[in-house]
A and B are shown apart, each in its own frame.
Chain A
Amino acid sequence: MAEVMRSETLNISNNTSSLASPELLHVLAVDDSIVDRKFIERLLRVSSCKVTVVDSATRALQYLGLDGDNNSVGFEDLKINLIMTDYSMPGMTGYELLKKIKESSAFREIPVVIMSSENILPRIDRCLEEGAEDFLLKPVKLADVKRLRDSLLKAEERVFKNIMHKRELEANDIFSQLKRAKI
């Protein structure tokens, strides 16, 4: 009589890829300028990204559930692959938004790109030091967006491959256990 496998031993990891949908990166864009919002949205759509655009850092935090009003516990379904934010915004700057994101356990792994019309080296350094993925001069070029997208897709592919490899190892492990139990 075969012994029923206990549920603990069937602990196949259930991580899925963090892509919003197959091959589709979800980008959150933050800019207080209505012209720039229209522009970045178009750049991202042309680059086959799903886009959410907000007009302030505060709204970005609300969207992410980091505004303190909600606890971000319920936000596992929110898949953001990249945040692109303007630097100079009234209220909270892009730099302050960057810091808040990096302080959050839920979102610190999400790459944050800063955009600015001003080529100020200390500013760029500060952002990179705080963990920004990249710093883009405005007006942003389509080539910049495509480069970002490609590098993120490559990273996602690596993560996906690792997950598949891990599943394979786990499946082999279970198979060996089954063999030993002579089922």
Chain B
Amino acid sequence: MGKCMQGFLDEQFMELEELQDDVNPNFVEEVATLYFKDSARLINSIDQALERGSFDFNRLDNYMHQFKGSSSSIGASKVKTECTMFREYCRVGNAEGCLRTFQQVKKEHATLRKKLEHYFQASQ
């Protein structure tokens, strides 16, 4: 894992890499693909829920719990940190905090996506 990844991905990503072998050479990329597909769905659900303006914090927290979980499984540390913050705002019912943090979540998510795209292209 190169220097450009540092901070964005933690040891969990390295654990994923260790699970790759000659028989399953694309395991990490497959996991990443599933992650981005799944997280896109969750981002969409949260976006829609926030746009509606009705802050069902339980529901938002539920989405974010899933998002945080899969981010953790892929080792996306920065995304995970933002997810934790979002959940804190949900917990105290702070709508503005949720909106603000969610922008950060999306930003980190997009950055990670670009980095991983380059990473996988480079390892072809």
Contact = CB atoms under 8 A, between A and B. Distances in A.
- How big is the B interface, by class? 20 to 34
A165 interface: no
Contacts of A32: 66
Interface in A140-154: 141-142
A17 interface: no
A161 interface: no
B15 A138 contact: no
8 contacts: A36-B69, A36-B73, A38-B34, A39-B31, A43-B19, A117-B65, A139-B75, A142-B15
Nearest to A90: B62
The majority secondary structure among interface residues of chain A is helix
B121 to A, nearest CB: 21
Contacts of B31: 35, 38-39
A42 interface: yes
Given A33-B73, A35-B38, A39-B31, 20 more contacts: A32-B66, A35-B31, A35-B69, A35-B70, A35-B74, A36-B69, A36-B70, A38-B30, A38-B34, A39-B16, A42-B24, A42-B27, A43-B19, A117-B65, A117-B72, A138-B69, A138-B72, A139-B12, A139-B72, A141-B15
A88 B18 CA distance: 27
A34 interface: yes
The 3 A-B pairs with the shortest beta carbon distances in the complex, nearest first, are A35-B70, A139-B73, A117-B69
Nearest to B24: A42
A142 B24 CA distance: 16
Contact of B38 (A34, A39, A46): A34
Interface in A103-156: 117, 138-139, 141-142
Interface in A22-36: 32-36
Contacts of A117: 65, 68-69, 72
Contacts, number: 49
Contacts of B30: 38
B47 to A, nearest CB: 20
Nearest to A140: B73
B35 interface: yes
A47 to B, nearest CB: 10
A39 B74 CA distance: 9
The interface centre, meaning the residue of B27, B70, B75 with most chain A CB atoms within 10 A of its CB, is: B70
Interface in A1-44: 32-36, 38-39, 42-43
Contact of B66 (A33, A138, A142): A33
A142 B30 CA distance: 18
A157 B3 CA distance: 47
Contact of B34 (A34, A43, A141, A142): A34
Interface string B79-105: 000000000000000000000000000
Nearest to B68: A117
